[in-house]
Homo-oligomer: A and B are copies of this chain.
């Protein structure tokens, strides 16, 4: 097959060699971790490469567009896993908005405790450094929030919320989660998640709920 393809000059590596190392995946995972802890600008490529253990010089082979490309792939990875978590919680609490909200706050709080309050949200960290980001990266961050919000709104609609109400409630919940992360990191305590969970849950309990 290589012959047939080699003749076509357009695409030159279609046949994929068996993956030899996981240097690329390691770099993305390390970048995601460090960006979450330190932020985008404060994290140097030197540190990412060093901590990823992967060979140093080959970085621009895997990421020819450099740091920006690495961040793009890191955020894609992050958003995908965050959405997967939300979908799981949604499935576990189908039709029950209060249980859904409580479970989300509990899950996020647990994640922060597990990291000893070191990890922030990758999307939030990038959002706070917008001028350092190129257009493509900014778009992905914004899209990450939109997609996350949509998963939550979908669950609320499944609880009988009107589409408009579901959207605004989802938007409020996402914002509350982001804010809680900031506070929790400073307080090194998950109490703010508890406070916000109560506030958010009370909202959908009153008689006129629908």
Contact = CB atoms under 8 A, between A and B. Distances in A.
Contacts of A191: 168, 171
B179 A142 contact: no
A131 B178 CA distance: 19
A41 B43 CA distance: 10
Contact of A172 (B38, B138, B176, B186): B176
A203 B205 CA distance: 9
A175 B203 CA distance: 17
Interface string A164-175: 000011011011
Nearest to A39: B129
Nearest to A175: B179
Contact of A186 (B38, B42, B145, B187): B145
A124 interface: yes
A96 to B, nearest CB: 18
Q: Which 3 pairs from chain A and chain B are nearest by CB?
A: A179-B179, A175-B179, A178-B179
30 contacts: A37-B131, A38-B131, A39-B39, A39-B128, A42-B129, A42-B131, A128-B128, A128-B185, A130-B185, A142-B187, A145-B187, A168-B194, A168-B199, A171-B183, A171-B196, A172-B192, A172-B198, A174-B183, A175-B176, A175-B180, A175-B182, A175-B192, A176-B176, A177-B179, A178-B178, A178-B179, A179-B180, A202-B202, A202-B203, A205-B206
